[in-house]
Structure 1
Amino acid sequence: MATVNAHATIPDNCPALVLNADFRPLSYYPLSLWSWQDAVKAVFLDRVNIVSEYERYVRSPSFELKLPSVVSLKTYVKPALYPAFTRFNVFLRDRFTCQYCGDKSDLTFDHLIPRSRGGQTRWDNVVTACAPCNLKKGGMMPKVAGMFPAHEPMRPTVFDLHRNGRLFPPNYLHESWLDYLYWDTELEP
């Protein structure tokens, strides 16, 4: 097993950004990251190309390798067109914002057509709501409650969620990742 250079900082702080074969991140939110151990293993199994490296090494008696900071898959993984219907993905679609008042805290989700009135739990009937707005609307229809979502709920594509995910970068972004996370965003004039 490789050991870490005693003069280097802890390698656990060296995750690798994982890009698809087309050099786009596999996902933006959560960001597609591998631990340094998984990245090194993928290099040795010849599953990835090293795109960028940290200034930190792993060593064994027979080799020395800079830790990868960005890797790209050698085989393209076709992303699914539609994401799974999960609470997190509903929040991401709605940008972690209550669709009634715009608050960003104490979030839950609301059925536009309440379940008690036959409403189903699906993309086109569920929106992100803060707990106070959800309580206020209760089992009423939007028109009766006088509460309408800021955006009509719809089934997002993975590209919609990737676009929204870029708005919420993780707490840690290594400088070598920036070109790959935002290279296809529109430049300001």
Structure 2
Amino acid sequence: MTIHVPHPVAPEACPALVLNADYRPLSYYPLSLWGWQDAIKAVFLERVNIVSEYERTVRSPSFEMRLPSVVSLKTYVKPTRQPAFTRFNVFLRDRFTCQYCGAREDLTFDHLIPRSKGGQTTWDNVVTACSPCNLLKGDRLPEDVGMWPSQEPFQPTIGDLHQNGRLFPPNYLHDSWLDYLYWDTELEP
């Protein structure tokens, strides 16, 4: 008789999904995750409730605990109203797509009105562009080179970024997370 013992899962492979007190993720993209140490520390400091657990346990000489897979904050954190203007958020607003040719590789950003012509680095003047399109446009205006973005740049809301973030799920989603991530997706019949 052979007994099969599954390979142990390293604690590092067990992040915890962090939900706000209203059971919504703190952020979708990047997904609000804590490492197992931070999750356990928050449990001991009584800052979170454990919503779901992994099968994996951690032990000390006097204590054993299953690792949390989903935790919710005990105190509600009010989300920011306006997203930060970052390169990543510009890419996310534009769905990681060059606004000139549709490429999804070698991305950077382009100023519609070039900085050399007084253009500002703002939501309303910056779009995602691939390096070849950015070089082709250079420091010229869109009308001078005949290159128009597929969508006009705009300042997104947090909701816009969350909606776009759902289009790019992380490589790993634990089953226990799914009930908290996609409440507004269409259900299968």
TM superposition score normalised by structure 2:
0.92
1:128 paired to 2:149: no
Contact 1:8/1:57 (8 A) holds in 2: no
Identity score, percent: 80
Aligned to 1:47: 47
* Partner Cα separation in structure 1 for residue 120 and residue 177 of structure 2: 40
Partner residue of 2:183?
Answer: 183
The match for 2:34 is 34
Q: Deviations over 1:109-145 (max 9, x none)?
A: 1111111111111000000001111111111111121
Counterpart Cα distance in 2 of 1:177 and 1:11 = 17
Q: Give the drift of 1:170.
A: 1.1
1:79 — aligned with what?
79
Q: For residues 15-66 of structure 1, give each alpha carbon's deviation from its aligned partner in whole angstroms, at most 9, with x where no partner exists.
A: 0000011111111111111011110111111100111100111223333211
CA distance in structure 2 between the partners assigned to 1:188 and 1:61 by the alignment? 47
Per the alignment, in what secondary structure is the counterpart of residue 124 of structure 2? helix
Structure-2 separation of matches of 1:101 and 1:188: 34
The number of aligned residues is 183
| Structure 1 residue 184: Cα displacement | 2.5
Q: Aligned equivalents of 2:188 and 2:62: distance in 1?
A: 49
How far apart are the structure 2 equivalents of 1:164 and 1:21?
23
Native 8 Å contact 1:18 1:32 kept in 2:
yes
Match of 2:148 in 1: 148
Q: Report the Cα offset of residue 185 of structure 1.
A: 2.7
Q: Does 1:108 align with 2:108?
A: yes
Give the deviation of 1:8 after TM superposition.
3.6
Q: Which runs of 5+ in 1 are unaligned?
A: 1-6
Report the alpha carbon displacement of residue 84 of structure 1 after superposing the two structures with TM: 1.1
Q: CA RMSD in A?
A: 1.4
Cross-structure match for 1:3? none
89-98 vs 155-164, which moves further: 155-164
Unmatched tracts of structure 2, length 5 or more: 1-6
- Kept after mapping to 2: 8 A contact 1:123/1:154: yes
Alpha-carbon separation, structure 2, partners of 1:57 and 1:135: 53
Paired with 1:173 and 1:20, the residues of 2 have a C-alpha distance of 18
Q: Could you tell me how far apart the structure 2 residues matched to 1:12 and 1:139 are? A: 46
The match for 1:25 is 25
8 Å contact kept, 1:52–1:71: yes
- How far apart, in 2, do the equivalents of 1:164 and 1:186 lie? 16
